[in-house]
């Protein structure tokens, strides 16, 4: 840490309970995995965490002119990390409908067409980024629409706020309305390469090559996605995998020579570190093994899987210590019904319970922070309060609502408190969100930009 004699930097110090993970609770004991400092001090300088530990030990080294922000009786955790979400579906969240393929046709594709309009894209991107911050999500892997301007709109907003987002234009060249299809894989390559040139590495932006899913991509488009990813080191890759039984059937029909859905992606060069596969609900043992062996990541999206009736993720299989695949949490809005990763964690618990694998609060918060970051191969940067990491963190308020206060005042251990926050928490529980060591959302400040209401176009109500 900087001493009083060091040159002045951009220093922030916050005091409260500190929680983060130094190890994987799916592989080791909770005691080994969890770091909990009851009365802690977190010190950030120039956007990075430089110290985290007991207040009494660290406060001595703070320069006299640094004011400590007090969050006594609150919990300070790493910013939450969502490894799968669609910003272009923000305004179609919770649309009544049937299962995946029908819901895409009736609700999602019509909404995504609207992102050919740059003004609309800007308005929704601003709302989406503010909503992430209100919910304590500081890093996310985001699907845009087919239109490059939908990517421009998102990165302009996230860079302006200092967020670390990974995002990319969706690639699709069949089985969707023509207005949403790429003209050709070659044009899709060129447009994506231009976007990478324009945004990858700008602020904290990361480009994510985004073939929508095997149903909407020809073999040539999948190969093009692989080439794009491999031609641009440091970019990530995201797609959907085995979410719904009818989707899986269709993929078998479209790729009859492939062993299974994972094999479709593997044969087209899409597996490997830095690839994140959303849903991964209907997979065989062989498929999980290939995901594990190739170091690919998966995004568990429980609110979406329940909402669309897709199925129950097999967390026990995914995190089997002998074949531990990388798993994070994704809200998958608009299939998901909440941008809150606390609510997502709550549903992950219930899905696990139905599968005979009820996760405790340590595992749930691990998934929502370090786990998601690791699935995206960003755990050296975000998802932890360990010094050296980027200073994105949140402050959770155990007294956010009367019922939560009544319940949390009846907890005796940090395990019980974490579990209760995961079960009952939502945006009200997030008292503050910090990006790069700076306050980016304050729940109690009515003038904060992240409190503004939607002011974009209103739809004509017909009913
Ligand atoms: N599979 C292909 N596209 C989508 C999408 O937009 N949402 C979900 N949940 N699954 C998909
Ligand atoms: Zn999705």
Give the phi and the psi of residue 13 in degrees, each rounded to 5. Answer: -130, 130
In a domain, 459, yes or no: no
Tell which atom from ligand 1 comes closest to the C-alpha of 108: 6
Same domain, 231 and 298: yes
Same domain, 141 and 239: yes
Separation CA 92–CA 383 (nearest Å): 29
Same domain, 73 and 97: no
Helix/strand number for the chain, H first, E second: 18, 16
How many whole angstroms from 104 Cα to the centroid of ligand 1? 7
423 — alpha (psi -120 to 50), left (phi > 0) or beta?
Answer: alpha
Same domain, 70 and 104: no
Q: The CATH number of the domain where 71 resides is what?
A: 2.30.40.10
269 — alpha (psi -120 to 50), left (phi > 0) or beta?
Answer: left
In a domain, 197, yes or no: yes
Same domain, 299 and 231: yes
What integer pLDDT is reported at residue 451 of this predicted model? 60
Q: The CATH number of the domain where 350 resides is what?
A: 3.20.20.140
Contacts of 174 (CB under 8 A, 6+ apart): 181, 215, 216, 217, 218
Choosing from 82, 83, 84, 86 the residue with most ligand 1 atoms within 8 A of its CB, the one to mutate for a pocket test is 86
In a domain, 462, yes or no: no
For the CA atoms of 302, 304, 307, 313, the dihedral, rounded to the nearest 10 degrees, stands at -40
Alpha helices in 162-244 (DSSP H): 185-199, 219-231
Q: Report the DSSP beta bridge partners of residue 77.
A: 394
In a domain, 425, yes or no: yes
Tell which atom from ligand 1 comes closest to the C-alpha of 247: 1
Same domain, 85 and 196: yes
Same domain, 327 and 274: yes
> Residue 117 sits in which domain range?
80-375
**How would you write the pLDDT of the chain (463 residues) with one tens digit per residue?**
544 444 457 999 999 999 999 999 999 999 999 999 999 999 999 999 999 999 999 999 999 999 999 999 999 999 999 999 999 999 999 999 889 999 999 999 999 999 999 999 999 999 999 999 999 999 999 999 999 999 999 999 999 999 999 999 999 999 999 999 999 999 999 999 999 999 999 999 999 999 999 999 999 999 999 999 999 999 999 999 999 999 999 999 999 999 999 999 999 999 999 999 999 999 999 999 999 999 999 999 999 999 999 999 999 999 999 999 999 999 999 999 999 999 999 999 999 999 999 999 999 999 999 999 999 999 999 999 999 999 999 999 999 999 999 999 999 999 999 999 999 999 999 999 999 999 999 999 977 755 667 777 777 555 4
Separation CA 204–CA 214 (nearest Å): 29
What the block records as the tokens of 445 is 């400040």
Tell which atom from ligand 1 comes closest to the C-alpha of 332: 9
Q: Which helix (H) or strand (E) holds 111?
A: helix 109-113
Same domain, 73 and 87: no
What integer pLDDT is reported at residue 450 of this predicted model? 57
**Of 375, 399, 422, which marks where a domain is finished?**
375
In a domain, 146, yes or no: yes
Same domain, 399 and 367: no
Same domain, 191 and 323: yes
Contacts of 371 (CB under 8 A, 6+ apart): 24, 326, 327, 328, 329, 383
Separation CA 123–CA 110 (nearest Å): 17
Domain count, the chain: 2
How many whole angstroms from 454 Cα to the centroid of ligand 1? 24
Same domain, 189 and 308: yes
Ligand 1 within 6 A of CB of 107: no
What integer pLDDT is reported at residue 454 of this predicted model? 74
In a domain, 3, yes or no: no
Same domain, 218 and 294: yes
């Amino acid at each position: 840490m900087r001493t009083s004699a060091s040159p002045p930097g951009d220093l922030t110090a916050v005091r409260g309970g500190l929680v983060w993970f130094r190890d994987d609770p799916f592989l080791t004991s909770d005691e080994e995995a969890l770091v909990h400092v009851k009365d802690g001090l977190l010190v950030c300088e120039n956007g990075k965490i430089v110290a985290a530990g007991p207040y009494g030990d660290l406060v001595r080294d703070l320069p006299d002119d640094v004011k400590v922000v007090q969050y006594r009786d609150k919990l300070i955790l790493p910013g939450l990390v969502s490894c799968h979400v669609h910003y272009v579906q923000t305004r179609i969240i919770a649309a009544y409908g049937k299962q995946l393929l029908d819901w895409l046709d009736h609700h999602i594709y019509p909404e995504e067409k609207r992102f050919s309009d740059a003004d609309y894209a800007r308005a929704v991107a601003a709302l989406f980024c503010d909503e992430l911050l209100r919910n304590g999500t500081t890093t996310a892997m985001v699907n845009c629409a087919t239109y490059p301007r939908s990517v421009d709109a998102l990165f302009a907003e996230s860079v302006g706020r200092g967020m670390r987002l990974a995002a990319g234009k969706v690639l699709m060249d069949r089985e969707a309305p023509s207005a949403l299809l790429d003209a050709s894989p070659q044009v899709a390559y060129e447009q994506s390469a231009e976007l990478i040139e324009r945004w990858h590495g700008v602020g904290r932006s990361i480009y994510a090559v985004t073939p929508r899913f095997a149903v909407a991509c020809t073999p040539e488009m999948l190969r093009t996605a692989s080439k794009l990813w491999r031609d641009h080191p440091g970019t990530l890759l995201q797609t959907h995998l085995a979410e719904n039984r009818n989707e899986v059937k269709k993929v078998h029909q479209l790729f009859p020579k492939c062993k299974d859905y994972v094999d479709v992606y593997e044969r087209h060069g899409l597996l490997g570190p830095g690839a994140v596969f959303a849903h991964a609900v209907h997979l065989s043992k062989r498929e999980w093994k290939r995901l594990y062996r190739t170091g690919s990541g998966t995004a568990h999206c429980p609110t979406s899987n329940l909402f669309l009736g897709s199925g129950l993720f097999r967390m026990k299989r995914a995190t089997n210590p002998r074949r531990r695949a990388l798993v994070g949490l994704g809200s998958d809005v608009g299939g998901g019904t909440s941008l809150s990763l606390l609510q997502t964690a709550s549903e992950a618990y219930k899905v696990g319970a139905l599968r005979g694998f009820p996760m405790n609060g340590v595992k749930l918060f691990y998934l929502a922070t370090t786990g998601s970051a690791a699935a995206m191969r960003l755990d050296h940067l975000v998802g932890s309060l360990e010094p050296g990491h980027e200073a994105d963190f949140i402050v959770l308020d155990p007294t956010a609502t009367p019922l939560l206060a009544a319940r949390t005042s009846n907890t005796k251990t940090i395990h019980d408190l974490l579990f209760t926050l995961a079960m009952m928490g939502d945006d009200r529980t997030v008292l503050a969100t910090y990006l790069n060591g700076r306050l980016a959302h304050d729940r109690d400040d009515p003038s904060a930009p992240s409190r503004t209401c939607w002011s974009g176009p209103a739809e004509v109500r017909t009913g």
